[in-house]
Amino acid sequence: MKNDQTIKEDARKPRLSLVPMQIIWDIAQVREYGNQKYHDPESWRQVELPRYIDAFLRHALAMAEDPASVDEESGIEHYKHAACNLAFICHMTKEGKNYDW
């Protein structure tokens, strides 16, 4: 009865409960910092995809060198910035943004 799709059809829907919730908290922390800095929660949409790729790589490399490292400007861990940049990359790629280098 528990998986009865006649009661609620969700067999082909993603199980978002499988995503570790910590990544949402981490990205939210970076987004709050960005909102305070730029005063526009939608400003991230105006940045070109290659700039997010570069930022992701910078933060990922800093994290690879020292997993506990913190971004000097924000005081937030590099892995959190990498997660946020990757979220932007995922969204922009799905939206069909091109890779104008």
DSSP labels, 77-95: BHHHHHHHHHHHHHHHHHT
Mean pLDDT across 59-72: 97
Mean pLDDT across 65-85: 98
Residue 100: what pLDDT? 62
Q: How confident is the model at residue 8 (pLDDT cuts 50, 70, 90)?
A: confident
The rounded distance, in Å, linking the Cα atoms of 57 and 69 is 14
User: Where along the chain do its domains lie?
Assistant: 53-101
Q: Both tokens of residue 9?
A: 């059809």
Tell me which of 53 and 3 has the higher pLDDT. Answer: 53
CA 24 to chain centroid, in Å, comes to: 8
Q: Is 77 helix (H, G, I), strand (E, B) or coil?
A: strand
CB under 8 Å to 31, separation ≥6 — which residues? 41, 84
